[in-house]
């Protein structure tokens, strides 16, 4: 089976490359550096359609997105293009080829309404900013297309690849005598390799058909950004840095971030028989890998 992965050089794309090594399926990763790099402009509907038809793609895993939450407030047109219009292109192309779209969405589709229990898949989306709104529009575009699709909302993604919170805090806790980190935003970190492994498992076991719908996936457990940073420092040995909790309003932002965006993972675990790792266990694995590089 031919599987197209967009955003192959991003965090999740790189982790899917790891997961798919040795697979009997043919994975086609876009935007990965090398002699046979595959270029695909997902905002070009005709280019997407040709790619899918010419390669007889039966599954698209869409890891591409506009993810700069703050910049999106001033760059809404591009965010909408990448997070919604491009998603519609992928959905329509895979529907025409009788395939399935696996799309990655975000906890930022929630946040405006106050709540303190884990978000379920059927909870109404109430984004607080442009990024979350455009990602919600992408989900809506998939529904409107009528294609077979699995949407995975995730949160606080990190990995050994690219720029992310873990790598930033590894550097800051090693070089700064003191840090202030917000404690009034609560969620769950997600190791991108865990999410990639889950997606690969679902594809490899051919569990897409009959299980279409929206799912939540993050690691298990709950923490604040302050707690997250404390564990990053502890596991990396950067214990000399004095890490102090602070309120979100001490760091003014154009975007009101969700104060509580814990995702309920009951559905994804039951439907696909997944064991989801606890967030500190996965964080340790990632830091070990980073320190060995």
Q: What pLDDT does 200 receive?
A: 98
Q: What pLDDT does 31 receive?
A: 87
- Domain 2-159+189-220+261-277, CATH: 3.40.50.720
Chain-centre distance for alpha carbon 111: 17
Q: What pLDDT does 293 receive?
A: 81
pLDDT tens digit sequence for 150-190: 999 999 999 999 999 999 999 999 999 999 999 999 999 99
Distance CA 77, CA 54 (A): 30
Question: Which of the following is catalytic: 27, 131, 161, 260?
Answer: 131
**Those residues with Cβ within 8 angstroms of residue 270's Cβ, 6 or more apart along the chain or in another chain:** none
Cα(first)–Cα(last) distance of the chain, in Å? 33
Examine the residue annotation and report whether 115 is marked as an active-site residue of this protein.
no
Distance CA 76, CA 133 (A): 10
Q: What pLDDT does 35 receive?
A: 60
Q: What pLDDT does 87 receive?
A: 98
Mean pLDDT by 10 residues, the chain (293 residues): 97 97 95 80 98 98 96 97 98 98 97 86 93 98 98 98 97 97 97 98 97 98 98 97 96 86 97 98 98 87
Q: What pLDDT does 121 receive?
A: 97
**pTM exceeding 0.95:** yes
Q: Where are the domains of the chain?
A: 2-159+189-220+261-277
Pairing of strands 186-187, 178-182: unpaired
Distance CA 30, CA 285 (A): 27
Q: Are 274 and 268 contacting, i.e. CB atoms less than 8 angstroms apart?
A: yes
């Amino acid at each position: 089976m031919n599987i197209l992965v967009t955003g192959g050089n991003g965090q999740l794309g790189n982790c899917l490359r790891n997961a798919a090594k040795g697979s009997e399926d043919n994975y086609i990763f876009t935007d990965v550096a090398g002699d046979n790099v595959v270029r695909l402009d997902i905002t070009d509907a005709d280019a997407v359609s040709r790619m899918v038809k010419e390669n007889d793609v039966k599954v698209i895993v869409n890891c591409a997105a506009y993810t700069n939450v703050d910049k999106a407030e001033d760059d809404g047109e591009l965010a909408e293009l990448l997070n919604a219009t491009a998603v519609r292109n992928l959905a329509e192309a895979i529907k025409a080829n009788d395939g399935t779209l696996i799309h990655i969405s975000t906890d930022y589709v929630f946040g405006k309404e106050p709540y303190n229990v884990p978000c379920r898949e059927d909870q109404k989306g109430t984004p607080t900013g442009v990024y979350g709104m455009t990602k919600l529009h992408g989900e809506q575009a998939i529904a409107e297309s009528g294609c077979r699709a699995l949407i995975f909302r995730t949160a606080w993604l990190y990995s050994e690849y690219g720029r992310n919170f873990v790598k930033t805090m590894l550097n800051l806790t090693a070089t700064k005598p003191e840090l202030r980190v917000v404690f009034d935003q609560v969620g769950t970190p997600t190791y991108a390799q865990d999410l990639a492994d889950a997606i690969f498992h679902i594809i490899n076991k051919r569990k897409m058909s009959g299980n279409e719908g929206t799912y939540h996936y993050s690691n298990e457990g709950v923490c604040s950004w302050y707690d997250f940073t404390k564990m990053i420092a502890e596991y990396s040995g950067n214990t000399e840095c004095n890490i102090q909790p602070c309120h979100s309003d001490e760091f003014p932002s154009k975007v009101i971030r969700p104060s509580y965006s814990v995702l309920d993972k009951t559905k994804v675990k039951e439907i696909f028989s997944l064991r989801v790792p606890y967030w500190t266990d996965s964080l340790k694995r990632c830091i070990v890998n980073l320190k060995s590089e």
